Amino acid sequence: MPIEMSLTDEHEELRATLRAFLNECSDEATVREQMSTERGYDPDVWTQMAEQMGLAGLIIPEEFGGAGYGYVELLVVMEEMGRALLCSPYLSTAVLAANALMHCADEKSQKELLTEIAAGRMVAAVAHAEPNGRWDIEGLEMTATRSGDQWTLSGEKTWVLDGGSAQVILVLARTDSGLSLFRVDPEAPGLRREAVPPLDLTRKISQLHFEDAPAELISAGDQSANFERVLALTTAALSAEQMGGAQWCLETAVEYAKTRLQFGRPIGSYQAIKHKCADMLVETEFARSAAYAACFAAAEQEDDFLEMADLAQSACSEAFFHAAAETIQIHGGMGFTWELPVHLYFKRAKASDLLFGDAAQHRESLANRVGL
C-alpha cells in the first residue's frame, strides 16, 4: 500500500503558529526592508526562530541540540515560509548546510556545527557549484591540495547562498578519496567573498574566490552519493517553499480578479481570466502533490525518494513560475509595478528554479533514474 500523504492536527497547529509568526515578522514591509540590506535578513528574527520556535534545528537530531523532527514538519514550515516570502538564511543553513553536515561530515564537526546552527548562533553556507555552470556531482571540479596535515583550496565557487553573511563555509572539493567536505573560516586568508547582485533580492548570493585558503577536511571517504542525497533533500524542501509561493500567487490573483472591475464587471467574470485561475489551481494542486510526495518519501526514507525529488523540483518550479507570471498578467498594468509585491514572487520563482539546476535538468535526471 502507498504511504498515506495526510497531515495531522499537530501539523496544522504548527502551520497556524508559523503563519501567525510570519504575519508579524515577514509582512510585505519587512520583506522589502530586509531585501534592501546587504545581509538580506534580520538577525534578531533568525535568533527568535531558533530559540523560541526551534526552527533552525527543526530537522537536526536532538543529540545535537535540534528538535529532531522530520521532513513532514519541514514541508509545512517551508510552505509557510514560501507563502510569506520570508527573507532568511533558512534554506542555506537549516536545510542545505544541516543536511550536508548530517550526511557528509564526521561526528566531531556534526557536534560542533549542528549544535551552533540549531541554537541560532551560526549561519552556514555550502559552496558547491562552479563557474562551469553545472549542478551535477560530476561537475564539481575543485581539487584540494594537501601538504602534511594541512589542506588548502584554490579556485572559484559560484551562487553560494548567504555566502556573504555566513559564519562558516562548507566547501565541496575533490581529494584522493573522492568528493570531500571541507570547513573554511569565512575570514580565512586567501578567501575573498564577492556579493553577486541577485535577480531575487530576497535571497543573497556570493561568489567565492579561493587562493590557497586553509581548509579543514571534515569528511571521510567519497561523499558523492551522500551529497547527491543532500541536494535532493534540499530541492525537496525547496519544492514545498515553491508550492507555498504558488499558493500565494493563486490567492492573490483570485482576490484581485474578484474586486477589479472593467467594462462594468469583475475581471474574474471573463473566462480569459477565470480559466487562467482554474489552470493555476490545477497546477498548484499538482505541485502540492509533488512536494508532499518528495517530503513524505524523504521522511519515510522510501526507495524512490531521489526520483520524487526530481519530480517535485520540476513540477513545483514550473507551477510557481507560471502562477507568478499569470498573477502579473491578471493585475494588468499594476502587475508590472515595483509597488505591488507580485514581481518579488516572480523573481523568487525563477531564482528557485535555477538555484540547483533547472526543471529541465531535473526531468533529465528523472528520465535517467526511471530508465527512459
Partner 1 sequence: MPEPTPMDEETLRARVRKLLEEAHPETTDSISFRQKQYEHGLAWVHFPEGYGGLGLSPKMNMIVFDEISKHSKVIHTTPPASVIGIGMGAPVVLTYGTEEMKKTLLPKIFSGEEVWCQLFSEPGAGSDVAGLSSLAIRDGDEWIVNGQKVWTTVAHLSRWGMLLTRTDPDAPKHDGLSYFLLDMKAPGVEVRPLYQITGEAEFNEVFLNDVRIPHARMLGQEGQGWRVAITTLMNERVAIGGGGSKRKGGGATGQLLDVWRQRKKGAHSPAQEAMLRDRVTRSYMDNELLRLTAQRARASQKAGNPGPEGSVAKLAQAEINKRMWETAIDIMGSDALAFEAGYALRQTAGAPDSVEGIAKYQFLRSRANSIEGGTSEIMRNILGERVLGLPGEPRIDKEVPWKDVPRS
The residues that touch partner 1, with contacts defined as CB under 8 A, are 1-2, 4-6, 254, 257-258, 265-266, 268-271, 273-275, 277-279, 281-282, 285-286, 288-290, 292-293, 304, 311, 314-315, 360, 363-364, 366-367, 370, 372
Q: Is 330 in the site for ligand FAD (CB under 6 A)?
A: yes
Q: Which of 132, 143, 262, 368 binds ligand FAD (CB under 6 A)?
A: 262
Which of these segments, 92-100, 168-176, 266-274, 300-308, binds ligand FAD (CB under 6 A)? Answer: 266-274
- What are the residues whose beta carbons fall under 8 Å from the beta carbon of 45, sequence distance 6 or more? 25, 88
User: Which of ligand FAD, partner 1, none has residue 332 at its interface (CB below 5 to 8 Å by kind)?
Assistant: ligand FAD
Nearer to ligand FAD, 158 or 329 (CB): 329
Q: Between residues 130 and 353, which has the closer beta carbon with respect to partner 1?
A: 353
The one segment of 25-33, 268-276, 310-318, 358-366 that binds ligand FAD by CB under 6 A:
268-276
Candidate ranges 191-199, 247-255, 326-334, 351-359; the one touching ligand FAD (CB under 6 A): 326-334
Q: Which residue is nearest to ligand FAD (CB)?
A: 332
Considering only residues 50, 100, 267, 306, which one is a binding residue for ligand FAD as defined by CB under 6 A? 267
143 binds ligand FAD (CB under 6 A): no
- Near ligand FAD by CB under 6 A, which window of 5-13, 243-251, 329-337, 338-346? 329-337
How near is the Cβ of 324 to partner 1 at its closest, in Å?
17
Scanning the structure block, which residue is given the C-alpha cell 524512490?
A: 304
Query: Does 32 sit near ligand FAD (CB under 6 A)?
Result: no
Name the binder of 358 from ligand FAD, partner 1, none, CB < 5-8 A by kind.
Answer: none
State how far Cα 122 lies from the chain centre. Answer: 17
Contacts with 124 (C-beta within 8 Å, 6 or more apart), sequence order: 92, 93, 97, 98, 101, 113, 117, 166, 167, 168, 169, 170
From the CB of 266, what's the least distance to ligand FAD, in Å?
A: 10
Q: Judged by CB under 6 A, which of 336, 360, 368, 370 binds ligand FAD?
A: 336
Q: Which amino acid is at 241?
A: E
| Residue 217's binding partner out of ligand FAD, partner 1, none, with CB under 5 to 8 Å set by partner kind | none
Smaller CB distance to partner 1: residue 271 or 301?
271
Q: In terms of CB distance, is 66 or 245 closer to partner 1?
A: 245
Shortest gap between Cβ of 336 and partner 1 (angstroms)? Answer: 22
Closest to ligand FAD by CB, 190 or 266: 266
CB of 327 to ligand FAD, least distance (A): 10
Q: Which partner, ligand FAD, partner 1, none, binds residue 263 by CB below 5 to 8 Å per kind?
A: ligand FAD
- What x/- string results for residues 273 through 312 when contact with ligand FAD is judged by CB under 6 A? x---------------------------------------
49: its cell numbers: 526562530
Q: Is the Cβ–Cβ distance between 74 and 99 less than 8 Å?
A: no
Question: What is the 3-state secondary structure of the chain?
Answer: CCCCCCCCHHHHHHHHHHHHHHHHHCCHHHHHHHHCCCCCCCHHHHHHHHHCCCCCCCCCCHHHCCCCCCHHHHHHHHHHHHHHCCCCCHHHHHHHHHHHHHHHCCHHHHHHHHHHHHCCCCCEEEECCCCCCCCCHHHCCCECEEECCEEEEEEEEEEEECCCCCCEEEEEEEECCEEEEEEECCCCCCEEEEEECCCCCCCCEEEEEEEEEEEEECCCCCCHHHHHHHHHHHHHHHHHHHHHHHHHHHHHHHHHHHHCEECCEEHHHCHHHHHHHHHHHHHHHHHHHHHHHHHHHHHCCCCCHHHHHHHHHHHHHHHHHHHHHHHHHHCHHHHCCCCCCHHHHHHHHHHHHHCCCCHHHHHHHHHHHHCC
